[in-house]
Amino acid sequence: MNYQELASKLLHTAERVQKHAHKLEGDTINKSAVRLAADVDRFEEILSGFLASRKSGELFLETLLRSPAAKKYVTLELLRKALRETCSKRLKSEELGGAKREFIEAVHASERAEPAVKYLKHAFAEAAYVPPAGKDKAALQHEFLQLGRLSDEDYATTIAKRTFGELRRLAGTNGIRFTDKTTKPHLIKSIRRYARRLAANLPT
Amino acid sequence: MSTKVLAFINFKGGVGKTACAVNIAATLAKLHEKKVLVVDLDPQSNSSLWLMRPDQWREHVAKGRRSTFEIFDDAIQGKERFNFAESVVKGVVTWTGFVEVPQLHLLPASVELLKVEDRIHELRAPTVYRILERALKDHLGAYDYVFFDCPPNLYSTTKNAIFLSDSCIVPYIPDYLSLSGFQVLAEYIAELRGKYTDSAGDRRHPNVGGVIVSHYRQTGNVFRLAINELEIMLAELRTHGILETNVSLLQPFIRHCVRVAESTSEHLPVVLYAPGCIGAQDYSDLTQNFLTHFHHKR
């Protein structure tokens, strides 16, 4: 059911009650009518509260502040900056939950829901963005593949020219884990193993 | 409205086609206010069953009616029973019985789709590719995004989706079996690109637009090495012209998350079911970068 369907249902019932009101009587229907009226009163109260405190922009702002991105990226500092830049106000809360509530109330009072939504969306997009790896990584990956295609002899000759630092960079970029204790011969062996595997797995 | 039509394909099963299509679609609708249509083309009906409760789905697609099967059945039988407005399911019904995310629409599948491949050869070749296009072209413009959740094969229904799509998204598991299949898939799409361009002028240029890594685990270096192999393969395929230069490995990688699996039993996208879990966070960030990749190139 959606709220459009609920509205149609209520209208349908209201019309029938109105049409037959003069002949409705008896304990069963009276009791049911009293229960329905109480439920409608309760629903009206909730509906009024909902509509009074939320415009569509604020509703979406609340959704954003409950979103997975908010759980990951919203900090006190971000809310402070957002409130300062969108509403020119200072955030007083020192705890995140309270700060979120204060933020929504301040935005509501200043009627600045749209810029606040825009600010948060932009902040989330910036936080999630992963910049492209760059030419350096591509060159090291290409080199790794070429090393895998060399014979054992050529590999030994080529790799001997590399410094330990270069080898660590090559290994790190190509997904090979090592620690500070990893020795140069061990790293050479690891690079050989995985570079060969790569060359064999990739069609020429 | 400029609609982006994307096919989620991979002929390898279990790589996360449905999970990606459903969860990116829901995140776009819920958190980015986009209007999204998910078209389920898989006889297993997994995206339908993810977004609908089984009783609701069974009633909706009874005897293959009001489903994507009807589109293909109409084409085979020369009938015109498919009605988009009656077939499309709007929003997701939560356990309260109320609809949420009304911007997310679904064109469900039914198991009868299994029968399509047996009979579709009765149609002439150029017609076979254009069945979905004929049935949906007047409706796609109402959406920001249309996602085809394809079956794990490259048969007629998938070809129809590729034909109608601006790009293909390839969900991928970081292991060698996926790697070996990826090149075949990329070459196949490149081949279709030539074929479709011949048959339909230069209207469509299906290509691989992005690769999504799912089932990712950060333990050890197994997955890091596998991702490295994939990145190098993508570079090689770009060099050889099999992939276009803008093909991107979309980030972040989707980590394995039990709450995502659980959300299928609740028939809710994870962004509704467990917005705090790592799966929802990964899909949220992925969707953000997906938008950047397809609409706001940096």
A72 and B284 within 8 Å at the Cβ level: the answer is: yes
Q: Among B288, B289, B292, B295, which would you mutate to test the A interface (most chain A Cβ atoms within 10 Å of its Cβ)?
A: B288
Using DSSP's 3-state secondary structure scheme, residue B188 falls into: helix
- pTM of structure: 0.88
A72 and B236 within 8 Å at the Cβ level: the answer is: no
Region A27-52: mean pLDDT is: 90
Domain boundaries, chain A: 56-128, 135-201
HEC per residue, chain A: CCHHHHHHHHHHHHHHHHHHHHHCCCHHHHHHHHHHHHHHHHHHHHHHHHHHHCCHHHHHHHHHHCCHHHHHHCCHHHHHHHHHHHHCCCCCCCCHHHHHHHHHHHHHHHCCHHHHHHHHHHHHHHHHCCCCCCHHHHHHHHHHHHHHCCCHHHHHHHHHCCCHHHHHHHHHHCCCCCCCCCCHHHHHHHHHHHHHHHHHHCCC
Instruction: Collect all residues of chain A within an 8 Å Cβ-Cβ radius of residue B280.
Output: 68
In chain B, where does DSSP find H-type helix? Answer: 17-31, 46-51, 54-60, 68-77, 84-87, 116-119, 125-129, 131-140, 156-164, 176-199, 222-239, 258-265, 270-273, 278-294
Sheet containing B89-93: order of strands:
B89-93, B99-107, B36-40, B145-149, B4-8, B167-172, B208-213, B248-250
Domains and CATH numbers, chain B: 4-294 (3.40.50.300)
Query: In this predicted model, what pLDDT tens digit does every residue of A109-159 receive, in sequence order?
Result: 888 989 999 999 999 999 999 888 778 999 999 999 999 999 999 999 999
A63 and B31 within 8 Å at the Cβ level: the answer is: yes
Q: Determine the residue type at B83.
A: N
Assess whether pLDDT exceeds 80 at residue A56.
no
Query: In this predicted model, what pLDDT tens digit does every residue of B128-142 receive, in sequence order?
Result: 889 999 999 999 999
Let me know: does A70 contact A128? Beta carbons within 8 Å. Answer: no
Let me know: does B75 contact B127? Beta carbons within 8 Å. Answer: yes
Rounded Cα distance, A189 and A195, in Å: 10
Q: Is B224 on the interface with A (CB under 8 A)?
A: yes
Q: B208-213 and B200-202: which strand pairing?
A: unpaired
Region A27-32: mean pLDDT is: 93
Instruction: Collect all residues of chain A within an 8 Å Cβ-Cβ radius of residue B98.
Output: 1-3
Rounded Cα distance, B150 and B17, in Å: 8
The contacts of residue B291 (CB under 8 Å, 6+ apart) are A125, B28, B32
Rounded Cα distance, B47 and B105, in Å: 11
Q: Determine the residue type at B17.
A: K
Q: Is B242 on the interface with A (CB under 8 A)?
A: no
The closest of B194, B130, B125 to B157, measured between CA atoms, is B130
Instruction: Report the chain B residue with the minimal C-alpha distance to residue A196.
Output: B229
The closest of A165, A82, A154 to A117, measured between CA atoms, is A82
Rounded (10°) angle between helices A135-148 and B222-239: 100
- Provide the pLDDT for residue B35: 97
Region A23-39: mean pLDDT is: 93
Range with the poorest average pLDDT among A45-49, B14-18, B123-127: B123-127
B138 vs chain A: nearest CA distance in angstroms? 26
Assess whether pLDDT exceeds 90 at residue B126.
no
Assess whether pLDDT exceeds 60 at residue B297.
no
* Chain A residues whose C-beta sits inside 8 Å of any chain B C-beta: 1-3, 60, 63-64, 66-69, 71-72, 121, 124-125, 128-130, 133, 138, 141-142, 144-145, 174-177, 194, 198, 201-203
Task: Give, in degrees to the nearest 5, the angle at Cα B31 between B30 and B32.
Answer: 105
- Residue recorded with tokens 């330990």: A164
Query: In this predicted model, what pLDDT tens digit does every residue of B154-191 receive, in sequence order?
Result: 999 999 999 999 999 999 999 888 888 898 999 999 88
- What percent of chain A is modeled with pLDDT above 70? 97
- Provide the pLDDT for residue B202: 47
Of B232, B252, B283, the CB nearest to A202: B232
The contacts of residue A179 (CB under 8 Å, 6+ apart) are none
At B245, is the pLDDT very low, low, confident or very high (cuts 50, 70, 90)?
Answer: confident
The closest of B209, B295, B246, B296 to B3, measured between CA atoms, is B295
Q: Which pair of structure tokens corresponds to residue B175?
A: 């292991």
Assess whether pLDDT exceeds 90 at residue B298.
no
- Provide the pLDDT for residue A204: 67
Region B85-92: mean pLDDT is: 96
Query: In this predicted model, what pLDDT tens digit does every residue of A68-91 receive, in sequence order?
Result: 999 999 999 999 999 999 999 999
